[in-house]
Amino acid sequence: MGEIRALKIPGRSLLGRIAILAIIAAGGTFLFTTAGMSSAWHSSQQMPDLSTRKGLYEAGCQYCHGDDGRGVDLSTVGFDVPLPDLTDCSFATREPDADWFIVTHQGGPVRGFANNMPAFGEAFTDEQIRQVVGYLRTFCTDNRWPRGELNFPRAIITEKAYPEDEAVFTLGGNADDLRGRFLYEQRVGPTGQFEVAVPVGFRQNNGQGSWLGGVGDIEVGYKRVFAHSVNNGTIFSGGLSATLPSGNEDKELGKGTFVFEPFVSAGFALPRNSFAHVQIGFELPIDADKADRELFWRGVFGTTLTAGPWGRSFSPMVELLGVSEFEEEATVNLFDVLPQVQVTLNTRQHIMANVGVRLPVNRTEGRPTQIIFYLLWEWFDGGLFDGW
User: Residue 302 maps to which CATH number?
Assistant: 2.40.160.40
Percentage of residues in the chain with pLDDT exceeding 90?
73
The last residue of a domain, from among 139, 162, 197? 139
> 122 and 18, same structural domain?
yes
> 152 and 116, same structural domain?
no
DSSP 22: H
The last residue of a domain, from among 139, 162, 181? 139
> 179 and 64, same structural domain?
no
> 280 and 154, same structural domain?
yes
Domain of residue 50, CATH code = 1.10.760
CA distances from 129 to 25, 28, 120, 136 (A): 17, 24, 8, 10
* CA pair distance 75, 73, nearest whole angstrom: 5
Q: What is the mean pLDDT of residues 135-161?
A: 97
CA distances from 220 to 166, 186, 197, 200, 267 (A): 15, 12, 6, 15, 22
The last residue of a domain, from among 106, 139, 172? 139
* CA pair distance 43, 113, nearest whole angstrom: 29
> 207 and 257, same structural domain?
yes
Tens-digit pLDDT profile for residues 246-289: 988 878 888 999 999 999 999 999 999 999 999 999 999 999 88
In this structure, are residues 100 and 131 in contact, taking their beta carbons and an 8 Å threshold?
Answer: no
Query: Could you give the number of structural domains in the chain?
Result: 2
- The DSSP result for 121-136, as a single string, is TTTS-HHHHHHHHHHH
Specify the pTM: 0.85
Tens-digit pLDDT profile for residues 333-381: 999 999 999 999 999 999 999 999 999 999 888 889 999 999 999 999 9
* CA pair distance 388, 376, nearest whole angstrom: 15
Tens-digit pLDDT profile for residues 187-223: 999 999 999 999 999 887 776 667 888 999 999 999 9
Phi/psi at 126 (5° precision): -60, -40
Least confident of 33-47, 154-168, 302-316: 33-47
pLDDT band at residue 31 under the 50/70/90 scheme = very low
- Looking at every residue in the chain, the average pLDDT score rounds to 88
Q: What is the mean pLDDT of residues 131-155?
A: 97
Q: Kindly state whether residue 386 falls inside one of the protein's structural domains.
A: no
Residue 15: pLDDT above 90? no
Structure-model confidence comparison of residues 160 and 40, the more confident one: 160
- The DSSP result for 305-318, as a single string, is EESTTTS-EEEEEE
> 221 and 198, same structural domain?
yes
* CA pair distance 215, 254, nearest whole angstrom: 9
Closest by Cα among 63, 60, 86 to 76 = 63
pLDDT at position 12, please? 38
pLDDT at position 26, please? 42
> 24 and 84, same structural domain?
yes
Q: What is the mean pLDDT of residues 34-53?
A: 60
List the domain range (segments joined by +) for residue 89.
Answer: 14-139
Q: Kindly state whether residue 9 falls inside one of the protein's structural domains.
A: no
Phi/psi at 77 (5° precision): -90, -20
> 34 and 174, same structural domain?
no
Q: What is the mean pLDDT of residues 291-301?
A: 97
> 219 and 131, same structural domain?
no
pLDDT band at residue 17 under the 50/70/90 scheme = very low
> 186 and 107, same structural domain?
no
pLDDT at position 257, please? 95
Residue 311: pLDDT above 70? yes
> 206 and 78, same structural domain?
no
Closest by Cα among 355, 316, 359, 356 to 336 = 359
> 175 and 258, same structural domain?
yes
